[in-house]
Structure 1
Amino acid sequence: MEEMGYTANQYAIYRHSDRNHDHIHICASRISLDDGKITRDSWEYVRSEKIIRQLELEYGLQQTLSSKEKLNRAPSYGATATNRKGTTRIRAWFEKHAATTVNQNPTN
C-alpha cells in the first residue's frame, strides 16, 4: 500500500476464492489520516500492475497476465456501443468513425 502512496490511509483487504483462484480485493480511502490530503490516484491501475508483478515474483505467487496481455477482456463501460437509453456513447462513436476515416484516407 505504501508503494501506491497510501501511507496513512484506512483500507480493508478481503480474500476469497469465488473463482477458480484465490484472490484479494482492496478498498482504500484516499484521504490521509495524517493531514487530510487526498492520495494521488493518477495512473493507479498501471502503477498497481507493476507492483503486483513484483509481489508475484517475490512471494512465488502464480503469475497473472497484465491487462494489456489479456486477449479476451470485456469491453469497458465507455467502450460499449450504447447506453441504457439507446444513445451511442462518445467513445464508441469515435472509434467507429475514426476507423472509417483511416480506412478511407490512408497515409503513405
Structure 2
Amino acid sequence: MSERYLFILFDDESTWVDATPAEWGAMMAAHERFSKAIVAAGAIDHGGEALQPTTTATTVRTGPDPVVTDGPFVESKEAFGGYYVIECDGLDAALALAKEAPSAVVEVRPIMAV
C-alpha cells in the first residue's frame, strides 16, 4: 500500500554561506539526481523546496501570551533547510530512498492519512 512521507533535510548552513556558483550548481544537480532516483525507485515525488537560511526565520511561541522572536526555534549545527514529500510502498522503501538524499541528516516522517 502506498504511503506519503515527509523527508526533512538538515545540513550545516555554513557550508553554503560563501558557496561559489559552481558549488551551488553541484548541490542543485545532486538534488535533481535524487528526485530522479525517487521516480526510478517507483515512488512518486510530490515535490519539495529549499528554505531560506535560519537567519531569516521568525519563531512564534503560542499560548495566552504569544511571543515573537527572531531566529529558529532550536539552535544546532545542522539546520532544517528543505524538504521532499514522497509517496512509496511503506517505511522500508522510504528509508532506502532517504539514504540516497544529498543531505547530512534526513528525518523521515509519515504523513497522516485523513
TM over 0.5: no
Structure with greater strand share of residues: 2
Q: Which has the larger radius of gyration?
A: 1
TM-score, normalised by the number of residues in structure 1? 0.28
TM-score, normalised by the number of residues in structure 2? 0.27
